[in-house]
Structures are given as structure tokens and as C-alpha cells.
Chain A
Amino acid sequence: MSYYDDASLVLIPSGVKAAKVYSQKPTNGTGDFTFARASTATRTNASGAIESVASNVPRLDYMTATGTLATCPMFEVEQQRTNLVFPSDVATTQTRTVTATAHTLTFYGTGSVTLSGVATGTLTGTGANDRVALTFTPTAGSLVLTVSGTVTNWQLEAGSFSSTLIETTTATVTRLLDSVSISGASALIGQTEGTIFLDVDFRVVSSGGIRVFFNLEGSVANQFTGIAVGTTNNGNNIQYAGTIYNLTQGRHKIVCTYNSATNVSKLFVDGAQRGASTFAAFASTIDRISILGRVNPFNSFQVDRQQFGGCNQFALWKTALSDAECIQLSTL
């Protein structure tokens, strides 16, 4: 037997279509994830080019959180963001109204953008294929962005880190959130013991509440029954049974086991055990899986629990794998 043979679900992002991310296992489609994003978005393809992706189509993205082009894609999950500058393809000097919250300016090219008005600073480009970023917190009011030289694919968004490019032409544009989940999947989830594996490229959320990496949960009435592994309020840590493990931006492999017979749950990150907890049996049937987020009581993705990241792999087992297996699986 093997990890694959023993798994109840294996997802290596490779096949997609509108509203669906295909899993490799089970092979009958019952493990395929439902995907939603009610707006267009962009991705970086295998060649490093930015291209538009239609509404509700999952993004197989090759750009890592640290700005390097990966050889294998991940499916991208992002929260809602708005690009406040337009047009995005070639920057022009303009004035935008902003609020007194952290904003991030990004662009490609060798030119520069100088801020004045309600904020000050200059962001200078380093190359046609390099994306540079500047995070700042203005006072509320009119922000003047003065463009010099070649500045392309630029974006100004509220937030303390950048998200993928939101293409604009004549007005601001909002990219809505991505959601990935399955309902009615109790047969794929270990109800008394199991293992969850997520290989993620973590974008780092510096604020905004607890963000979920993955979630196994019950029905609407039992939504709080299940297992959720996510960040703390600070956003860049895993909080697990009181143990906090600091995550840096970039790729991480997370494995969580649970076993109601032994009353133990364990968390492994990047090749080592990072936490352990007592684990009681689920109070009701667990039938829903969500990746990089969770579902709220009304069967929609819970916006304030969603993560920014790319999923490289996701898998479930209906048994608790051994410590040695978890260490192997979680080793980068």
C-alpha cells in the first residue's frame, strides 16, 4: 500500500473548468471541489505571463508568494480586493481618494511612482518582469500618484500586502473572493480518525482576524463541529491547541492527524511536530471540506476566515498516519 492507495482524497491542482477543481482521487468525481469567484481575475501562467481568467474559473497560478516562478502550479485563493488605479496596463499620473488604512502599491517596469498629498514616498521599479511593492498608510483624502518612466500592470489596493493583478481600464475594479469546498463528502472524511495534508504557498496575512488553512466541518447546524487549522489574529501563525507556530511567507506543508480512540490530535509543519492536543469524537457527522477558508452558516464562504494562498496539494486519509509518515509528508 502507499500514501495514494490509503488516501480517501488526493488533489494535485492540474485539471479545472468553470466551477470545478478536479481531484485525482476518488476517480469517480465525488472528491471534486466546487469553485466560485463571481468576477474575473488574473494568473501568472507557466511562461510567467499574466493572463486574464474568466469568472468562476479556478486559477492555476505559477507565481509564488516570494515572487519566483514555480515549475508546478497551485490553485490560487484570494480574498476580495479592489484596484484603485486605472488603466492598469500603462500607468498615468492621477489622484485617488483613499481611506486611512494600509495600502499597497505594486507595478512592473523601470519607472517610478511618487506619492504626495495624504502620503509620501517613492517606489522605483527594477525591471520589466519584476514586480515591486510599497506598503504605506495614508491619512484619509486625496492621494496623488505621480508616474515617471515605464510603469506597467500597476495596482493600488487597500491591504498590507499585494494580491494578484486586477486589470482596470476606465474605473476601479473589484476582484471577488475565491472559494473552494465540497459539501456532502462524509464518505471521504474519517469520522473517528484521520489525517489532513495541505501543501500551501502562504501569502502572509498581517491582520484581519483568524484565517483558516483547511476545515472539516459538519452541516449548517453543526458548522462548529470539526477541525479547523488556521492563523491567529496576527495572521502569520498557526494556532493549535494553544501552541503557536510562526509561519513565514512562502511554502509550507501542514499535516494534522486526529484519533478519537486515542483522544489525540497532532499538528506537523515543515517536517516536525509543532503541536498536540486531546481530541474528542465529533459530535455529529462531518461532511464538508474547505481549503484556505471555511463555510459559514448560510453555505457561503466565510469572508473573514479566508486565507490568501496557493494550494499545491491537498489530501485526506481516514486513518491517523504515523508520526514518521507525517514528518515525511510535511517535509519541504
Chain B
Amino acid sequence: MPDNTIQWGQGAVNNSIGWGQAAANNAINWGYIHQFSYGHPETNLVGATPAMQAAEAYQVRVLADSGTIEAYQCMVDKLTFLFDNP
């Protein structure tokens, strides 16, 4: 969640029409670089979560070692639990 208490920058989640969510809600990686390059914890307009950053670093390392990756989103989801708790 955004790291502020005044609702600033929460437009991307506080709407039901997908406004501001394109970087996450598309299947063609539109906004992918932007998402990873300009994230700030104060908002969730853009920016990768710590779990997404860890998953990305993991994927880069595995592919550089000639390994294969699958179930990327599952990894992100499980990492999110570990990052968000306790």
C-alpha cells in the first residue's frame, strides 16, 4: 500500500475502472520498464513492490545462468506474503 496517510497518490487503486493500472493490467508488458524504473513507496501509481523487485532480480539471475523460469506471478505472490509480514 502507499506509504502515506492522506490518500495521496492512491487513485490507481481507489477506482473501479482500471484508471492508472495499465502497467500492471496488461499482457504485453506495456509500462514494464516504467514500473520498475520509477517506483516510489509513497504512492502506487507506478513502481515495483519489494516482492516484484526480488522476483525480477531472481529471474535475471536464473536466466543469466541458463536456467528456466515459470510461474512468475506465483513467486511474486508468495514473496509478497513474506515481504508484507509479520
Contacts and interface: CB of A to CB of B under 8 A. Distances in A.
Given A4-B79, A29-B61, A71-B74, A15 B67 contact: yes
Given A3-B86, A15-B58, A24-B58, A60 B79 contact: no
A291 B71 CA distance: 21
10 contacts: A13-B71, A14-B72, A15-B59, A15-B68, A17-B68, A22-B67, A24-B58, A27-B61, A46-B70, A46-B71
Nearest to B50: A4
Of all A-B residue pairs in the complex, the 3 with the closest CB atoms, nearest first, are A15-B62, A72-B74, A17-B67
Interface residues of A, number: 28
Contacts of A72: 71, 74, 77-78
B74 A22 contact: no
A14 B83 contact: no
Given A15-B59, A22-B58, A24-B58, A7 B82 contact: yes
A12 B75 contact: yes
Contacts of B74: 12, 14, 71-73
Interface of B: 50-51, 54-55, 57-59, 61-62, 65-72, 74-75, 77-79, 81-86
Given A17-B65, A22-B58, A22-B61, A2 B71 contact: no
A148 to B, nearest CB: 38
Contact of A17 (B58, B66, B70, B82): B66
A47 B57 CA distance: 26
A324 B70 CA distance: 32
A313 B66 CA distance: 22
Contacts of B86: 2-3, 324-325, 328
Contact of B69 (A14, A20, A29, A315): A14
Nearest to A72: B74
Contacts of A5: 83
Contacts of B61: 22, 27, 29
A156 to B, nearest CB: 31
Given A14-B69, A15-B68, A17-B66, A2 B59 contact: no
Contacts of A73: 70-71, 74
B10 to A, nearest CB: 22
Contacts of B69: 14-15
Contacts of B50: 4
Nearest to A321: B86
A2 B68 contact: no
Contacts of B77: 72
A16 interface: yes
Contact of B78 (A12, A16, A25, A27): A12
